[in-house]
Amino acid sequence: MAPIRLRHPKGVSTIQVDLDSFTVQDLQQEIFAVSEIPPSLQDLKAGYPPQTLTVIPELPLESLGLKPGDQLIVNSKPGAAPQTAPAPAPARAPSAPSSGNATLGRSSVPRIPPSSGTVSSGPDYVETDNGTLVHRVVPDDNSCLFSSIALVFHQNIGKAQEMRKIIADAIRADIITYSEAILGRPRDDYIATILKPASWGGAIELAIFARYFSTEIASIDVETGRIDQFTPPPEADSGNRCILIYSGIHYDAASLAPTPDAPTEFHQTVFPIISNGDDDPILKAGKDLAAILRAKRAYTNTATFDLKCQQCGQGLKGEKEACAHAMQTGHTQFGEY
């Protein structure tokens, strides 16, 4: 382990990092632990005069060129602030939708809160024949996936850490499905990491949650409108679906309410599956909700930003190409154009 001196808004700290085995994301988690600045909001600088570092979480820590005793400066990105969540409703066990929900209306109308004269601070929503599908924003604290799942199935984002334990237990119990090859790292390392409050979740976790809750999880990508459907095995399928909204680096949930400002205890978060197309009113409303956010450019594209390898000069596009280039060449120094 090597000491790195960290200047942050709360003062000065020394963090210990493994320069050989850490990824950049591991460093970000250590910084988050002392500064309380989520990785997605961290603006990192090093050197003299301080220069902003190009941060690609998947790359090895050596991509930042740090040495023992170096100093890092971290601040929140200009204009960035963590998203705030509506107050969670009291926890309750998920229940099957009433039979009346199967007749949800088939039309939905995107509705952006009016901006004439004033700016609304409320969530975006889409009206359907049977209620309003509301964008349920959860905190931007790297537990967003787990908070969204806790909101959907327990009506309580405070259960996010319990959702992490579901993932850890599932991986621990199935060495065949969740092998080191599938996880991309040693199993014990993956389990330990996913239990950390600052670790992100993704497709592996969504597939596990779909099986655990016997419910399809439809994750709608804001930028592209693509829907990734994670389904439980047929023998455990309840015939229900929930909706998550994915911005590229953040997950939120969506729920159906009688009116846009209805108390959260009146929201429905699990819906009967009618189809996989636009004649399913909730799926259609989810796509329309993503379109509203897309029009506001409320997404982050980590796949298309331009990078340059500082060791050979090759131009690269996005995180995926940078990772592939690093594996092929051993080059780990990248900068944005």
Please list the active-site residues: 141, 144, 250, 331
Query: E strands of 37-114, at which residues?
Result: 42-46, 51-52, 71-76, 108-111
Instruction: Give every CB contact of residue 270 below 8 A, 6+ residues apart in sequence.
Output: 94, 97, 152, 153, 215, 240, 241, 242
Q: State how beta strands 251-257 and 271-272 pair.
A: unpaired
**38, 198 in Cβ contact below 8 A?**
yes
Cα 27 to Cα 63: distance, rounded to the nearest angstrom: 12
**Triad 41, 312, 29: Cα angle to 5°:** 25
Residue of 337, 308, 244, 334 lying closest to 58 (CA atoms):
334
Q: State how beta strands 51-52 and 42-46 pair.
A: antiparallel
**Triad 330, 335, 337: Cα angle to 5°:** 130
Instruction: Give every CB contact of residue 328 below 8 A, 6+ residues apart in sequence.
Output: none
